[in-house]
Structure 1
């Protein structure tokens, strides 16, 4: 029988690359490094707790896309840029023509006027002077404000109000078709024009709730308020951050309980959780110092950092428990665990970081912010898990209960690992590959239905039964002008925007669009000219046309609304009201406009896309559509390069990447079947899933290669791999999957969607590395040659 002490010393001294430089540097300065971590954590932790939610309209759109460049270049000449709120004030019984309702509407209009962030010059309501009525009489045109002069709430003035409303052309726009509600339309500033401070969407949303909805619904039980718009949607998402914190807390608790069940060691449970939380605090503190906040999309990144930390922490706990079970003291066990894991661990984490940073190439600032946040987080995980974690464990060690758990369950687990090692058997591997090919075929078939952009009406980031989406449904059902507006800009020379040829071209475009699926209606200066020309000719419909006489045209557009013509008369918009903002609708309409522009643009006028909230959505979809494949190429390219640099084998790279590729394809198929589109909220999940999933394959392959080079057969080498690191990989995948699956109950739909996708990717990446990687190794690695080469070198 061998001497345990002799075996221990021989194992320690003959380990390849004994005491590498990094190991000596870290373990010879344990106390100094821990003190440095203590002060760094205090400093960055102080900044982390002061980080604030952040959201910006411009940061959520692709500023470099031609549509957005055009929109921002002419933003001072346009309305309906997409950043506005519409507040529908509904009377539940009766109609709007009562003194009580009109007084309530007046008070609400005044409240909205004084809200910080509102562009007061563009505010519209029945009570604002820019909402007018016009009619043609025998004496010519007559008009005035919708609220009649001398209005006092009497029956006579209310009847006059009714007549003014009917003549105002605002029914279906500011006034519902059934006369039971009206809208207060409030355009918003992106930045306060006095202070330059960006609009605080969270605070603005709270003011809408407290000063408008809660206040006036409480005052008048017959009144119900409905609020929609980008600012309200983002405000509701920010409000939902609280639920994200709750779900993150649940995830931490579940992870801790499962980790204890796995290790049966208090230190082996609490230390990886503690160091992973430290990594999150270091990340958040650094982000605040760099001037970043947490927007509704990147707020989930801290959890991903925690998940990555736990994933690698489990490997360290597992390796230390195995070494401690052999009789090593805590310092030696920690050194051996570090020595075995620092190369695959650093490779996996660097792959994660570079994978996330590829998101930076997508020209949408919120995704770039997410890339920076994730990259910084992973950088800190390298420090906290490969340095802080092992140093703390070198002092605390694995408890006796943890050591006994490894020793007592070794034989029972060996039977399980022996069965699973048949995944590498020559008779089983082809069956696994056949199943994978079938899965690949099904994934490719179903992913054909994957769409870019929103697939539902309203705000897809929120659930269909959310208050916001109910409000949006109410406005769609009761108003004839859609909330989804695409603005086509017509550019001319100065003072030339009202020329006959320009108006005729605009009219032709409108005819094309009104015969395009998905278009509800359109409006432009051409419409104004035709309506007024008809009115000037006793309302005869034969005159509902654009006159060739420029004098008549000039007379017809003299009182045109400000939003349809700019002061220099070198830009006029065509407003296109869409049925929805689904990806197919936007693609169909923008293609029709681009085709018309390419066939008709000339030196006299130019049609340009696009402004309006639908224009922003179309630009965003275009960027995401073109960036998706590029991003995946970058992610897989970076991961493949790092794996090739480490393992010096293309076959090894294929063994690691093929399971990841299958997971990506199946995840996209699940998105298509589940009705989840590729958009700002879901695009990063694909990259994040690849980045985190590669960890499993790297740990499995590094151990498998080590045992193969020791001369073991493939099945025996895989059996030893499962014994040493496979159980940690399986535990990590299951634990992280259980942690995120609770997100499907979140009130925020995009969090629920991310939870579903991450659950699948965590679990399936783990399954791929455990089940498919050894089958691929059977055909790609040529283990017999590796074994023969290893034996020849002995």
Structure 2
């Protein structure tokens, strides 16, 4: 129970605050000014690695593949001819123009840029004693009917080009590009900073990619080197252009800095706008485009939704208090808490991302809720005492300990998100916790100080709330203290059972693309690209030889081919590509194009020779996206039409089975990576982290409440309604098909962190009222109509603030649905289940050990 000395300590503290109000206000403003100066360090940056568990094998392998082969930031650019096929000079000129222009973007991985117009895409012709390898499109776009016909023949002669670089119906062509994580320190144009890393020093020598090599002694035709000075000038001219650019002034391309997805997207938009016309539709798809939309959504949340949340919460405050002071004091306090938290993010150089961008709205709602409680009590005391300063001292003394308890529990609940081994969750949890503690400090300093300085409203007491609300709370009190108590607890038990059934049906899934509304340009472009091409999601299989020349073993190459065909049998798999595809093509070409020879060569020496011939036919980097120059590592590219993790799990199972049966015996190891497998890793971390997080939050809430109330039963009384609220949330998710993902994993911390306030404030007020009246029914009625009314206003304010998130972005924010649901259930639990349990169990922490009759005492009028 609360000891008298605790109340005396709080009263002495408040008296000191009220005794030096201007010093307190000045100190608060000085601290706020310091945090404001840190706003200059805030930046919007979304590093996908921050949401991935970096110690997971899939993620570690993905980082390894990214370093060696790239592929983690692939964008598919689709050029669709609305009036025919692409085999005309106008369309092909656009394909070549886009191919050339994307290579001028700082951070591009030139070795991974492919299209029918790119030098790396080869056409292989076999004669009696040699294989001739040339560019698919020989340098320039064909302008004659004969040249266009020949190119079309070349494209359709090789299945590798179909459904990847050219749609099967011939109406669309793709330019596939890839980007590194940072802007190179010294951009050198095509093949420079990016290309030289894997292409060697002599890439210019083979720039045209043409060569004729015999099956015996290889021969190369040397191409004239490109003029890098011309390319450099072209890059500078393009980069410096600002007219009609999709990139705002804030989008900077600074060497050594993170290459933001939004910067990739806007530069690609500039290029596509340059080549779009009435006859051609250009689409963009891929993970960088998806993440760019997340960034834009986060910016919208801060720039648009946050001000709207301020307006709505302010209106609700005015309805609650019917005074301008009652509107502005909680709002200003909440905004100061937001400023402190955002300033701390700037001070620690923590970037804003799609998850911690919601921190300001959350802190605003929680801080406003605490402020409502203390101001509601101030107006009660002012009505009773008639003296503003005494009302400040009395109200803060009575509410202060409850506020500290609720604030610490809420802060600890959010801080517990460090359980997730995900940087974005950790930063979201820690900075929200800091914001809540900031709000707590401000509410115990700034509010009593400013309230003691300001003249009270002309009305001695605040106008009562809506009559409907008063009648509702009065009826609720009658039900809790009367026969309705049994119905309330029976209903709670029924909700518990139904929620358990629903919780058991909750599935873990993270599909980034499916979150977005169908009406967004992202979904429309993705749909068009998936119809025409192999897909925009990626899955990679890394092959690592444990002994020399293992990848040249015919048995291994045949196993790779079987694995590719098995994967392609799945309807969601659009295309696979590996070095084996080129071995088969060259084998068939050498044998006069006979389809019977479209298979892996039988001899290891022949495989080795084919790999050598292809690698020297152009830029040494041309083959590096599929096999490292040492030929001890190779990768299978798999393009998917879906990023659903259930598909990725099926693919992983197929790869693991193939590894055990076909590769391990030949000392070749397999590993999976790409945008889909890393999300599987994320799901596994979500399950582990979520289970541990729920246990931690329950323990924190129970122990903190039990410690403050000095009663284990007090801890259980707070936990029971909260647990039911959380369970109902999970039950609704399971029954409605809402999956547990990165966007919904933090809901429990939010529900408990905010919902615990309701139970704590109610218990403190109920204990106080019983101490005055010695009548449990009267104490419950008074508590519900005072603290209970404040709880309802807080729940409405939080729900309104978060409800804005649901439909106002580019995708459905489930927080905007589940947080209001949690507020509804936790507030109703506090107003019904908690007092019903108090009546049944008559805990000492409420009644101070006093005798309470079994029958309720009648209210004395």
* Structure 2 partner of 1:127: 117
Tell me how far apart the structure 2 counterparts of residues 19 and 292 of structure 1 sit (CA, whole Å): 35
1:621 aligns with 2:683: yes
Inter-CA distance 522–123: structure 2 relative to 1 (3 Å threshold): closer
Alignment TM-score, normalising by the size of structure 2: 0.83
1:230 aligns with 2:319: no
Tell me how far apart the structure 2 counterparts of residues 360 and 739 of structure 1 sit (CA, whole Å): 25
**Residues 763 and 846, structure 2, Cα contact 8 Å, conserved in 1:** no
Tell me how far apart the structure 1 counterparts of residues 528 and 401 of structure 2 sit (CA, whole Å): 58
Tell me how far apart the structure 2 counterparts of residues 687 and 75 of structure 1 sit (CA, whole Å): 34
1:33 aligns with 2:24: yes
Inter-CA distance 541–709: structure 2 relative to 1 (3 Å threshold): farther
From 755, 760, 763, give the equivalent of 2:816: 755
- The CA RMSD over aligned residues, in Å, is 2.9
**Residues 275 and 388, structure 1, Cα contact 8 Å, conserved in 2:** yes
* Structure 2 partner of 1:462: 516
Tell me how far apart the structure 1 counterparts of residues 669 and 460 of structure 2 sit (CA, whole Å): 72
Inter-CA distance 28–438: structure 2 relative to 1 (3 Å threshold): same
Inter-CA distance 791–689: structure 2 relative to 1 (3 Å threshold): closer
* Structure 1 partner of 2:380: 322
* Structure 2 partner of 1:270: 328
1:207 aligns with 2:267: yes
Tell me how far apart the structure 1 counterparts of residues 147 and 22 of structure 2 sit (CA, whole Å): 84
* Secondary structure, aligned partner of 1:53: coil
From 87, 95, 99, give the equivalent of 1:109: 99
Tell me how far apart the structure 1 counterparts of residues 477 and 574 of structure 2 sit (CA, whole Å): 61
Inter-CA distance 187–514: structure 2 relative to 1 (3 Å threshold): closer
Q: How is 1:33-72 mapped onto 2 (pairs within 5 angstroms)? A: 33-48=24-39, 51-72=42-63
Structure 1 position 710, deviation (Å) = 5.5
Q: Which moved more, 1:394-403 or 1:581-590?
A: 394-403
Inter-CA distance 64–775: structure 2 relative to 1 (3 Å threshold): same
Tell me how far apart the structure 1 counterparts of residues 846 and 452 of structure 2 sit (CA, whole Å): 39
Structure 1 position 482, deviation (Å) = 2.5
Tell me how far apart the structure 2 counterparts of residues 759 and 791 of structure 1 sit (CA, whole Å): 37
* Secondary structure, aligned partner of 2:551: coil
**Residues 682 and 750, structure 1, Cα contact 8 Å, conserved in 2:** no
Tell me how far apart the structure 2 counterparts of residues 15 and 284 of structure 1 sit (CA, whole Å): 33
* Structure 2 partner of 1:472: 526
**Residues 424 and 714, structure 1, Cα contact 8 Å, conserved in 2:** no
* Secondary structure, aligned partner of 2:642: coil
* Secondary structure, aligned partner of 2:672: strand
Q: Which moved more, 1:741-750 or 1:722-731?
A: 741-750
Tell me how far apart the structure 2 counterparts of residues 606 and 705 of structure 1 sit (CA, whole Å): 70
Structure 1 position 658, deviation (Å) = 1.9
Per-residue CA distance 1:447-497 (angstroms, 9 max, x = gap): 333222235xx6134212100111000011111x22222212222235433
Tell me how far apart the structure 2 counterparts of residues 316 and 588 of structure 1 sit (CA, whole Å): 55
1:198 aligns with 2:258: yes
* Secondary structure, aligned partner of 2:726: helix
Tell me how far apart the structure 1 counterparts of residues 807 and 57 of structure 2 sit (CA, whole Å): 39
Tell me how far apart the structure 2 counterparts of residues 410 and 736 of structure 1 sit (CA, whole Å): 19
Tell me how far apart the structure 2 counterparts of residues 422 and 404 of structure 1 sit (CA, whole Å): 25
Q: Which moved more, 1:523-532 or 1:768-777?
A: 523-532
Structure 1 position 520, deviation (Å) = 4.8
Tell me how far apart the structure 1 counterparts of residues 742 and 471 of structure 2 sit (CA, whole Å): 46
1:640 aligns with 2:706: no
* Structure 1 partner of 2:415: 357
* Structure 1 partner of 2:195: none
* Structure 1 partner of 2:830: 769
Inter-CA distance 49–271: structure 2 relative to 1 (3 Å threshold): farther
Tell me how far apart the structure 2 counterparts of residues 506 and 678 of structure 1 sit (CA, whole Å): 35
Tell me how far apart the structure 2 counterparts of residues 283 and 130 of structure 1 sit (CA, whole Å): 50
Q: Which moved more, 1:632-641 or 1:315-324?
A: 632-641
**Residues 491 and 570, structure 1, Cα contact 8 Å, conserved in 2:** yes
From 438, 445, 448, give the equivalent of 2:501: 445
From 487, 492, 513, give the equivalent of 1:431: 487
Tell me how far apart the structure 2 counterparts of residues 723 and 92 of structure 1 sit (CA, whole Å): 67
Structure 1 position 50, deviation (Å) = 5.5
Q: Which moved more, 1:661-670 or 1:708-717?
A: 708-717
Inter-CA distance 92–388: structure 2 relative to 1 (3 Å threshold): same
Structure 1 position 616, deviation (Å) = 2.0
* Structure 2 partner of 1:172: 163
1:576 aligns with 2:638: yes
Tell me how far apart the structure 2 counterparts of residues 137 and 553 of structure 1 sit (CA, whole Å): 18
Inter-CA distance 87–242: structure 2 relative to 1 (3 Å threshold): same
Tell me how far apart the structure 2 counterparts of residues 516 and 713 of structure 1 sit (CA, whole Å): 70
Tell me how far apart the structure 1 counterparts of residues 316 and 694 of structure 2 sit (CA, whole Å): 33
Tell me how far apart the structure 1 counterparts of residues 86 and 767 of structure 2 sit (CA, whole Å): 77
Tell me how far apart the structure 2 counterparts of residues 171 and 584 of structure 1 sit (CA, whole Å): 27
From 297, 311, 321, give the equivalent of 1:240: 297
* Structure 1 partner of 2:75: 85
Tell me how far apart the structure 1 counterparts of residues 110 and 610 of structure 2 sit (CA, whole Å): 28
Tell me how far apart the structure 2 counterparts of residues 203 and 61 of structure 1 sit (CA, whole Å): 22
Tell me how far apart the structure 2 counterparts of residues 387 and 180 of structure 1 sit (CA, whole Å): 68
Structure 1 position 695, deviation (Å) = 1.1
Structure 1 position 305, deviation (Å) = 0.4
Inter-CA distance 256–657: structure 2 relative to 1 (3 Å threshold): same
Inter-CA distance 594–399: structure 2 relative to 1 (3 Å threshold): farther
Inter-CA distance 472–93: structure 2 relative to 1 (3 Å threshold): same
Structure 1 position 276, deviation (Å) = 0.5
1:486 aligns with 2:539: yes
**Residues 294 and 354, structure 2, Cα contact 8 Å, conserved in 1:** yes
Structure 1 position 26, deviation (Å) = 2.8
* Secondary structure, aligned partner of 2:821: helix
From 414, 419, 436, give the equivalent of 2:475: 419
Tell me how far apart the structure 2 counterparts of residues 616 and 754 of structure 1 sit (CA, whole Å): 24
Per-residue CA distance 1:109-162 (angstroms, 9 max, x = gap): 232221233222322222221122224444543331121256452222222221
* Structure 2 partner of 1:311: 369
Tell me how far apart the structure 1 counterparts of residues 732 and 668 of structure 2 sit (CA, whole Å): 43
Query: Unmatched 5+ residue regions in structure 1?
Result: 1-12
Query: Unmatched 5+ residue regions in structure 2?
Result: 186-254, 616-622, 854-861
Tell me how far apart the structure 2 counterparts of residues 318 and 722 of structure 1 sit (CA, whole Å): 13
1:551 aligns with 2:605: yes
Structure 1 position 172, deviation (Å) = 0.6
Per-residue CA distance 1:602-640 (angstroms, 9 max, x = gap): 485353432221122222222212222122112222222
From 791, 803, 810, give the equivalent of 1:741: 803
Q: Which moved more, 1:709-718 or 1:425-434?
A: 709-718
* Secondary structure, aligned partner of 1:182: strand
Structure 1 position 584, deviation (Å) = 1.9
Structure 1 position 569, deviation (Å) = 2.3
Inter-CA distance 136–433: structure 2 relative to 1 (3 Å threshold): farther
Tell me how far apart the structure 1 counterparts of residues 415 and 796 of structure 2 sit (CA, whole Å): 26
Tell me how far apart the structure 2 counterparts of residues 704 and 64 of structure 1 sit (CA, whole Å): 49
* Secondary structure, aligned partner of 1:563: coil
Tell me how far apart the structure 2 counterparts of residues 200 and 571 of structure 1 sit (CA, whole Å): 29
1:778 aligns with 2:831: no
* Secondary structure, aligned partner of 1:130: coil
Structure 1 position 588, deviation (Å) = 2.4
Q: How is 1:577-596 mapped onto 2 (pairs within 5 angstroms)? A: 577-596=639-658
* Structure 1 partner of 2:439: 381
* Structure 2 partner of 1:94: 84
Structure 1 position 30, deviation (Å) = 2.3
**Residues 123 and 136, structure 2, Cα contact 8 Å, conserved in 1:** yes
**Residues 74 and 177, structure 2, Cα contact 8 Å, conserved in 1:** yes
Tell me how far apart the structure 1 counterparts of residues 98 and 51 of structure 2 sit (CA, whole Å): 30
1:339 aligns with 2:397: yes
Inter-CA distance 361–91: structure 2 relative to 1 (3 Å threshold): same
